[in-house]
């Protein structure tokens, strides 16, 4: 019975500590100490030495303060405390990470107005906004461009929260700042890669489009030229004015043909740059690029990457383009379905000479009547589709000596898969 | 005796126009909209040269030429195609063809090529 009471008190002690977030060790220690204290408290109620209890309490309180201080000093985020009762926001504490982050020394920081540390280049509007928010007893959360003491820029994720006394009055503000510069840079790099890939895809689509168009137009131009030349020969020496007109038709036909020839050479596909590639690394890179899109659509992507796969020989950008196309098709297939979320990408060795990549979705699947036309130019089942994605993907895969195929899954959705021959020179 | 020319192109208008043109040069011209159609109608030892489009549904130009060779025929073949890849002429000659012309084909060039075969 007694044990139970202690447990419930213990929980209360824990709950209040949990607010201080993830300090498991600390909690454990405090809990033990609290238990100890309570047991002794019970013993002392019978008139034992109350002075000793006071000393013990003092000691435990000291230890708690010590641990918390140590924890703050060890944190890798910059932590600082501002006195809220003074009008000029003086900093009364900052941890070592804060000094490291800002480049200021302890002397320069303690007692200093927090906002002055932002330097002369700071955005005053933002600072006023922060001041206003915290003065109202609310928390601030935001990412700002800041300057170190030496003028160096860095991105800081800043959180400032009010600290209240027992009456609810704001006595201090506690702030945490995290350097997000590297993270930002990485995101920027990913964004650039994605742009590059999109550009290549757009150019590829355009080239394929122009090529198909050029072929379609060349046919009638061929016929027109031959008809006109035949007409000229039939007239022989008769009807000089009609012969002249036929000559104009011939000239303009050849002019049109020249335009098409130039257009075609302008968009001539760059020769693929073949290099040894690790298909798993390529898959990972591609997924990283499209991850924000997947998250935004509330879908999950699962990777089953075969281990020890041999290197393949291929064009990195082109193969990424294929994979990206298959992934975005799958996402679209799952768009309208509320209960299908999962997309699976699997890499494996199909046989000793062939690596296979499968993209499996749980979407609407492919209607039987579309199966045959799936890879044809200009075939699309999407209202705003061009019908180029899969046909280009297939020609890329075939240029690599592989195959791109599709099939419906036995349960639901479809699987697209492509094979690429193993690079024999680098075979394991 | 006039020279026979066979044309295979899936575009009917192209066939008709080339035929009209070549007839003014006194060739004997027959046109086919598919390779199958040609193989079904013309015996492999029927004399005459073949104008062959490359991009066609079903058997494409390259495959047709292979089949012509495989049948033991010595029929001269001229490829005509809208698309001209850099190595197309080389590839055509290596495959045993007489030449490669890009569409639209200039009449005189084509006729010169056909007449060159006879020598």
Write down the pTM of the prediction. Answer: 0.52
A403 CA: distance to closest CA in chain B (Å):
19
- CATH of residue A296's domain is 3.30.565.10
3-state SS record for chain A: CHHHHHHHHHHHHHHHHHCCCCCHHHHHHHHHHHHHHHHHHHHHHCCCCHHHHHHHHHHHHHHHHHHHHHHHHHCCCEEEEEECCCCCCEEEEECHHHHHHHCCCHHHHCCCEHHHHHCCCCCHHHHHHHHHHHHCCCCEEEEEEEECCCCCEEEEEEEEEEEECCCCCEEEEEEEEEECHHHHHHHHHHHHHHHHHHHHHHHHHHHHHHHHHHHHHHHHHHHHHHHHHHHHHHHCCCCHHHHHHHHHHHHHHHHHHHHHHHHHHHCCCCCCCCEEECHHHHHHHHHHHHHHHHHHCCCEEEEEECCCCCCEEECHHHHHHHHHHHHHHHHHHCCCCCCCCEEEEEEEEEECCEEEEEEECCCCCCCHHHCCCCCCCCCCCCCCCCCCHHHHHHHHHHHCCCCEEEEECCCCCEEEEEEEEECHHHCC
**A121 confidence band (pLDDT: 50, 70, 90):** confident
Residue A4 has pLDDT above 50, yes or no: no
Looking at residue A2, what is its pLDDT? 44
Looking at residue A3, what is its pLDDT? 45
> What is the residue-averaged pLDDT of chain B?
88
State which residues form the domain around B89.
4-117
**A14 confidence band (pLDDT: 50, 70, 90):** low
Q: Chain B residue with minimal CA distance to A254?
A: B104
A234-270 pLDDT, tens digit per residue, is 998 898 899 999 999 999 999 899 888 878 777 765 5
**Same domain, yes or no, for A293 and A191?**
no
- CATH of residue A105's domain is 3.30.450.20
Q: Considering only CB atoms, which residues of chain A are within 8 Å of chain B?
A: 211, 214-215, 218-227, 229-230, 233-234, 253-254, 257, 261, 264
Size of interface A-B (CB pairs under 8 A): 72
**Same domain, yes or no, for A34 and A165?**
no
Looking at residue A384, what is its pLDDT? 66
Quick check: A225 and B18 CB within 8 A? Answer: no
**Same domain, yes or no, for A316 and A418?**
yes
**Same domain, yes or no, for A297 and A400?**
yes
CB-CB: which of A214, A223, A233 is closest to B14? A223
Q: Chain A residue with minimal CA distance to B55?
A: A215
CB-CB: which of A222, A234, A257 is closest to B14? A222
Its ipTM equals 0.89
Alpha carbon dihedral A149, A151, A155, A156, in 10-degree steps, equals 20
> What is the residue-averaged pLDDT of chain A?
83
A335-376 pLDDT, tens digit per residue, is 877 777 889 999 999 888 899 999 999 888 888 888 777 777
Residues of A in contact with B17 (CB under 8 A): 222-227, 230
Looking at residue A9, what is its pLDDT? 54
When pLDDT is averaged across residues A177-194 and rounded to a whole number, the result is 85
Q: Chain A residue with minimal CA distance to B84?
A: A261
Q: Considering only CB atoms, which residues of chain B are within 8 Å of chain A?
A: 11, 13-14, 16-18, 20-21, 23-25, 55, 80, 82-84, 102-107
CB-CB: which of B14, B21, B102 is closest to A219? B14
Residues of B in contact with A247 (CB under 8 A): none
**Same domain, yes or no, for A82 and A130?**
yes
A284-328 pLDDT, tens digit per residue, is 988 888 888 888 888 889 999 999 899 998 888 889 889 988 998
* A272 vs B13: which has the higher pLDDT: B13
**Same domain, yes or no, for A192 and A86?**
no
**Same domain, yes or no, for A325 and A400?**
yes
Looking at residue A224, what is its pLDDT? 96
**The domain boundary residue, chosen from A71, A86, A107:** A71
Quick check: A222 and B55 CB within 8 A? Answer: no
B20 CA: distance to closest CA in chain A (Å):
6
**The domain boundary residue, chosen from A216, A241, A266:** A266
Looking at residue A428, what is its pLDDT? 40
Looking at residue A116, what is its pLDDT? 82
**Same domain, yes or no, for A328 and A413?**
yes
**The domain boundary residue, chosen from A266, A294, A316:** A266
Q: How many domains does chain A have?
A: 4
- CATH of residue B38's domain is 3.40.50.2300
A342 CA: distance to closest CA in chain B (Å):
38
B72 CA: distance to closest CA in chain A (Å):
31
For the ranges A217-226, A317-326, B80-89, which has the lowest average pLDDT?
A: B80-89
Residue A11 has pLDDT above 70, yes or no: no
Q: How many domains does chain B have?
A: 1
Beta-strand relationship, A153-164 and A140-147: antiparallel
When pLDDT is averaged across residues A261-283 and rounded to a whole number, the result is 79
CB-CB: which of A223, A253, A264 is closest to B13? A223
Residue A10 has pLDDT above 60, yes or no: no
State which residues form the domain around A255.
185-266
């Amino acid at each position: 019975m007694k044990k139970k009471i202690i447990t419930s008190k213990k929980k209360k002690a824990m709950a209040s500590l949990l607010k201080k977030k993830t300090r498991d060790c600390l909690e454990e220690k405090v809990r033990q100490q609290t238990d100890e204290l309570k047991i002794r408290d019970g013993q002392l109620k019978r008139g034992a030495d109350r002075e000793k209890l006071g000393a013990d309490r003092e000691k435990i309180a000291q230890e708690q303060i010590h641990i918390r201080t140590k924890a703050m000093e060890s944190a890798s985020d910059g932590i600082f405390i501002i006195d809220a009762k003074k009008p000029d926001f003086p900093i009364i504490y900052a941890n070592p990470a804060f000094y490291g982050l800002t480049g200021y020394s302890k002397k320069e920081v303690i007692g200093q107005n927090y906002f002055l540390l932002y330097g002369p280049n700071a955005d005053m509007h933002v600072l006023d906004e922060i001041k206003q928010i915290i003065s109202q007893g609310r928390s601030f959360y935001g990412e700002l461009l800041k300057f170190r003491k030496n003028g160096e820029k860095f991105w800081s994720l800043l959180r400032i929260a009010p600290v209240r006394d027992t009456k609810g009055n704001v006595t201090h503000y506690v702030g945490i700042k995290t350097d997000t510069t590297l993270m930002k840079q990485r995101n920027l790099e990913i964004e650039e890669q994605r742009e590059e890939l999109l550009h290549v895809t757009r150019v590829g689509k355009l080239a394929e489009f122009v090529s198909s168009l050029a072929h379609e137009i060349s046919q009638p131009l061929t016929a027109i030229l031959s008809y006109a030349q035949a007409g000229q020969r039939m007239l022989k020496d008769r009807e000089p004015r009609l012969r002249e007109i036929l000559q104009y038709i011939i000239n303009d036909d050849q002019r049109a043909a020249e335009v098409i020839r130039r257009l075609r050479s302008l968009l001539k596909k760059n020769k693929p740059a073949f290099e040894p590639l690790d298909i798993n690394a390529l898959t990972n890179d591609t997924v990283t690029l499209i991850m924000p899109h997947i998250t935004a659509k509330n879908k999950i992507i699962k990777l089953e990457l075969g281990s020890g796969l041999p290197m393949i020989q291929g064009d990195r950008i082109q193969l990424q383009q294929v994979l990206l196309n298959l992934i975005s098709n799958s996402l679209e297939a799952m768009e309208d379905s509320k209960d299908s979320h999962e997309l699976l990408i699997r890499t494996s060795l199909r046989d000793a000479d062939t690596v296979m990549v499968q993209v499996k979705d749980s979407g609407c699947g492919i209607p039987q009547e579309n199966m045959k036309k799936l890879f044809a130019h200009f075939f699309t089942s999407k209202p705003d589709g061009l019908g180029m994605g899969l046909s280009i993907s297939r020609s890329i895969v075939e240029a690599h000596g592989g195959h791109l195929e599709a099939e419906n899954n036995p349960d639901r959705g479809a699987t697209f898969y492509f094979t690429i021959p193993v690079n024999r020179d680098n075979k394991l | 005796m006039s020279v026979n020319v066979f044309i295979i192109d899936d575009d009917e208008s192209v066939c008709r126009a080339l035929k009209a043109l070549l007839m003014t040069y006194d060739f004997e011209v027959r046109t086919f909209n598919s390779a199958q159609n040609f193989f079904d109608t013309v015996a492999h030892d029927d004399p005459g040269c073949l104008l062959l489009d490359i991009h066609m549904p079903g058997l494409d130009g390259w495959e047709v030429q292979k089949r012509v060779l495989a049948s033991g025929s010595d029929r001269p073949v001229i490829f005509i195609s809208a698309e001209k890849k850099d190595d197309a002429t080389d590839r055509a000659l290596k495959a045993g063809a007489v030449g490669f012309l890009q569409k639209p084909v200039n009449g005189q060039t084509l006729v010169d090529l056909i007449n060159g075969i006879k020598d």
